[in-house]
Amino acid sequence: MSKRIVILGAPGAGKGTQARAICEKLALPTFSTGAMLREEIAAGTELGKTAQELINQGCLVPDEVINPMVARTLNSEKFAEGFLADGYPRSVAQAQNLKKVLAEMGTDLDLVINIDVDLEAVVGRMLHRAEIEHRADDTEPVIRHRLKVYHETTEPVVEYYRNEGILLEIDGNGTIEEVWERIEKQL
């Protein structure tokens, strides 16, 4: 049974929703670097202040901030037996760091699920979500920038894991239920 899982997908691909369903089905604890950063912002910490402007511009938060945060998380008791990571890694450098952190713990990833969607369809979905959630990073120019960052920096991570031989590609077009059915079949 796969225990150490990463979920990848463009912003708005529905990966947060699918991540929750996977965790429930496999009884795995999950962490989302985006959610952790939003908590830091809400708590008004130094880390939160550094992150806020970058997030609002649709830019990535630097590895010097993210990598130690993820290393601390993975070394905590809660994730000792397995996890599902949502929003990390977002670059090949982060993927290499994740491999190193896990190797130091004597383990490695078992599975990477990529929710593959049509990027233009995603803009529409995200604008719709912006109306509901009022996230400061969900305005159209910021959404477009996030998608550009995704294409340039995060998409190569898919190839990285394909080469590692642990990639599961899921067609992410369609309804939440349709996508979930495709994932569930493969778990």
Which x/- pattern over 91-130 shows residues binding ligand AMP (rule: CB under 6 A)? Answer: ---x------------------------------------
Note whether 87 binds ligand AMP by CB under 6 A: yes
Structure tokens at 117: 């969607």
Nearest approach, Cβ of residue 149 and ligand AMP (Å): 7
Burial of 125 (0-12, 13-18, 19+ CB in 10 A): middle
Q: Select from 19, 55, 122, 123 the one that contacts ligand AMP (CB under 6 A).
A: 55
Closest CA to 114 of 179, 24, 29: 179
Residues 111 and 166 sit within 8 Å (Cβ to Cβ) = yes
Among candidates 8, 6, 18, 9, which has minimal Cα distance to 121? 9
At which residue do the structure tokens 């990966």 appear? 15
**Tokens of residue 26, six digits:** 């496999």
Examine residue 60 and tell whether it contacts ligand AMP (CB under 6 A). yes
Q: Which residues are catalytic?
A: 15, 90, 125, 135, 146
Task: Tell me which stretch binds ligand AMP (CB under 6 A): 28-36, 42-50, 156-164, 167-175.
Answer: 28-36
Using the contact rule CB under 6 A, the part of the chain among 53-61, 101-109, 116-124, 163-171 near ligand AMP is 53-61
Among 73, 98, 126, 146, contact with ligand AMP (rule: CB under 6 A):
146
Write the Ramachandran bin of 11: left for phi over 0, alpha for psi from -120 to 50, otherwise beta: beta
Interface region with ligand AMP, contact rule CB under 6 A, candidates 2-10, 40-48, 52-60, 172-180: 52-60
**Nearest CA to 76 among 64, 87, 68?**
68
Which stretches of the chain bind ligand AMP, using CB under 6 A?
A: 11, 32-34, 37, 54-55, 58-61, 66, 87-88, 90, 94, 137, 146
